[in-house]
Structure 1
Amino acid sequence: MMAFVWKRLLGTIPSLIGVVVLTFFISHALPGDPAAFFAGPAANAASIENIRATLGLDRPLPVQFLHYVIDLAHGNLGRSLTTGQPVLTDLIERLPASLELSSFALLFAISIAIPMGVWAATRINGGVDHACRGLVTVSAAFPTFFVGLLFVYIFYFLLGWAPQPLGRLNEITFSPPPHVTGAYTVDALIAGDWPVLRAALSQLILPAISLGLFALAPIARITRAAMLEALGSDFIRTARASGLPVRKILMTYAFRNVLLPVSSVLGMVFSFLLGSNVLIEQVFGWQGVGAYAVSAVIASDYAAVQGFVLMMAVLYVLLNLAVDIFAMLVDPRVRYEG
């Protein structure tokens, strides 16, 4: 097991090097001048040039890249121009918020997509199957930010059921729970602060559903397809011929074979949710890494953009490694050799 893990980690090094190189040069190709943004609208050309020299932006691009790589090797992602803090500190502070939102979105998608996919596969071409395919098509058709804005308009503005989209918590009324994990719902649960837990969950429901609807489609599709393949296999026909109960056939034999392809999709979907929650965080005022990345792009904050992309790449590698390890544990037929 450990040999496989180390082999996979070593195999990701060329990909991470490529991410570092491409991110650096693409971020420096973004329109805008970070020195002018940092200097402010009232600055003259001389002060902008002084700031550019202070930031090291007047040096040739290969020299800047060399210094960036040296800093990266020492664990220094640079300092953000928009916050004034080290980029690594910003990302660590904001990552729990994005992980919390993406995790609840994935839980919402799983709780609907997997039962729906299994149910549709057992009633192929029936009403449930058509309803499943229709819901999957509709949920994948609309952008997440449009769904988020629609939910805000309906459930907050028209009906008044949802709280004002002010972020993770209405800090005018509630104080954040003591910091343990950085996720307000988990920290409030640990502290036993039930009013804060309810308030954090109420702020989380709409953005999580808005993001989870888009993730629902691939999970439901792969669940339905894998379940159909399992139900059509020889061992299921043998189990039916042996007179085993239908529930046992579905859940013990068929669904167990569905876990492997579904778990592979879940890893990709979760990494997609982490990267695609940028617009949802903007709509709901959610202070995660997505909102941080948007601010960095607008300000041409090179260090923040590069740090965000590099963090997403590392998380993607770790998620895929976790999926592969889970596949080895779930299905003993899976072997990784050579």
Structure 2
Amino acid sequence: MNTLITILRRVLVAVPTIIGVVIVTFILQRALPGDPAVFYAGPSANPEVVARVREQLGLDQPVFMQFLDFIRRLTHGDLGLSISSGHPVLDDLLSRAPASIELTLAALLFAIVVGLPLGMLAALKPGTLVDHACRVIVTVGAAFPTFFVALILIFVFYYQLGIAPEPLGQLNEIYDTIPTTVTGFLLIDTLLAGDTATFQSVAMKLVLPMISLGLFALAPIARITRAAMLETLSSDYCRTARAMGLSYSRMVFSYALRNAMLPIISILGMVFSFLLGGSVLVEQVFAWPGIGAYAVSAVMASDYAAVQGFVLLMAVLYVLLNLVVDLVITAIDPRVRYEH
């Protein structure tokens, strides 16, 4: 019952946020330079053709009427038609979202696998050379933009060493077999199809984008882990457990780490949302067929419907992610209750 109340409360709080995102996105997109009717009609179209296209797209109507039409279609699950691809925006987003989510989850997993032990190691040996080395590693790793790291990794591992596959999408179109779409996630679909060769190819192509994006999240995870572990290790219950003869390793993993997981999990939701939004540049560098690359193309073409659909999808994902984080924290510590 408490879980259901938490879900309903978070959903109700998120509704005004989503409405605000829709309004702000609609207004800002109209303020951007460029005319989608000119792009759709083509560079050789005369003013009469452009005017007819503008009428077909509904851009000849007052802005308020365009907004009402957008809201009406949105309530029916219609995000409009992309003038860039010629397909419904919802279909484009649903077909591309798994690629972005798969990349983001892989980057987050990389950041956790590397950042969590680094933060713990720094907390267990504070003020030592190990602590300083860990902090230098995470600081340097997060100091460079994701696209710069991506270009460096491509130059070193693909052009110089030749051990990485070509940075062009998720699949090698010549050698890899496209699996039957079940989940939309290529790693999972290739395993379900029993195609280990394609699975290895997809995994290899995922490594460089995963590291490029994951380094962005490594620093906050390591720092939060270090701070949370230092706080719990200095607490009374950890000192008492150690004084009563509990082994050091059990005290660290059973008491300190478990209590430190609350702030760590809280930051993971924020980090995931940052990664999902920050994957735009990485997708461009690696020609990754995700929603980030789709959004960039939509902005360049002044594709109102596609940009609005992208922003709305990101807002919904962010709300759902925060809801999941809240539920996980509540499951870890039942004392946690949300009254707002």
TM-score, normalised via structure 1 length: 0.99
Q: How does 1:176-255 map to 2 (within 5 A)?
A: 176-255=178-257
Query: Which amino acid letter does the alignment assign opposite residue 147 of structure 2?
Result: F
Structure 1 residue aligned with 2:49 = 47
Q: Distance in 1 between matches of 2:142 and 2:196?
A: 35
| Amino acid paired to 1:275 | G
User: Displaced runs of 4+ in structure 1, greater than 6 A?
Assistant: none
Gaps of 5+ in 1: none
Q: Which residue of structure 2 aligns with residue 35 of structure 1?
A: 37
Cα distance between partner residues in 2 of 1:138 and 1:50:
54
Whole-angstrom CA distance in 1 between matches of 2:338 and 2:71:
33
Q: Distance in 2 between matches of 1:27 and 1:159?
A: 43
- Please name the residue that 1:16 is paired with: 18
For 2:134 and 2:216, locate their aligned partners in 1 and report how far apart those are by CA, in whole Å: 14
Query: How far apart, CA to CA, are the structure 2 residues paired with 1:152 and 1:336?
Result: 45
Identify which range, 43-52 or 57-66, moves more after superposition. 43-52
Paired residue for 2:155, among 124, 145, 153?
Answer: 153
Match of 2:98 among 80, 96, 99: 96
Structure 2 runs not aligned, ≥5 long: none
State the number of aligned residues.
338
Deviation (angstroms), 1:61? 0.6
Q: Which amino acid in 2 is paired with 1:76?
A: D
Question: What is the rounded CA distance, in whole Å, between the counterparts of 2:14 and 2:213 in structure 1?
Answer: 28
Deviation (angstroms), 1:125: 1.0
TM-score by length of 2: 0.98
Aligned counterpart, 1:59: 61
Q: Distance in 2 between matches of 1:170 and 1:55?
A: 37
Equivalent in the alignment of 2:309: 307
Amino acid in structure 1 at the alignment position of 2:171: L
The CA deviation at 1:147 is 0.4
Q: Which one-letter code corresponds to 2:155 in the other structure?
A: Y
CA apart distance, 1:337: 4.3
Cα separation, 1, equivalents of 2:129 and 2:184: 44
| Alignment-mate amino acid for residue 191 of structure 2 | L
User: Deviation digits for residues 49-69 of structure 1, max 9, x if unmatched?
Assistant: 111111111111111001001
Superposition map of 1:130-169 within 5 A: 130-169=132-171
Which position in structure 2 is the counterpart of 1:278?
A: 280
1:136 Cα deviation from its structure 2 partner: 1.6
Q: In the aligned structure 1, how far is the partner of 2:133 from the partner of 2:82?
A: 48
Note the C-alpha offset of 1:190.
1.4
CA distance in structure 2 between the partners assigned to 1:326 and 1:263 by the alignment: 8
Q: Distance in 1 between matches of 2:201 and 2:236?
A: 51
C-alpha displacement of 1:254: 0.1
How far apart are the structure 2 equivalents of 1:69 and 1:77? 9
How many angstroms apart in 2 are the aligned matches of 1:277 and 1:91? 15
Percent of paired sites with the same residue: 58
Paired amino acid for 2:166: Q
Aligned AA for 1:221?
A: R
**1:110 equivalenced with 2:124 (yes/no):** no
Equivalent in the alignment of 1:296: 298
Q: Could you say what secondary structure the match of 2:238 adopts?
A: helix
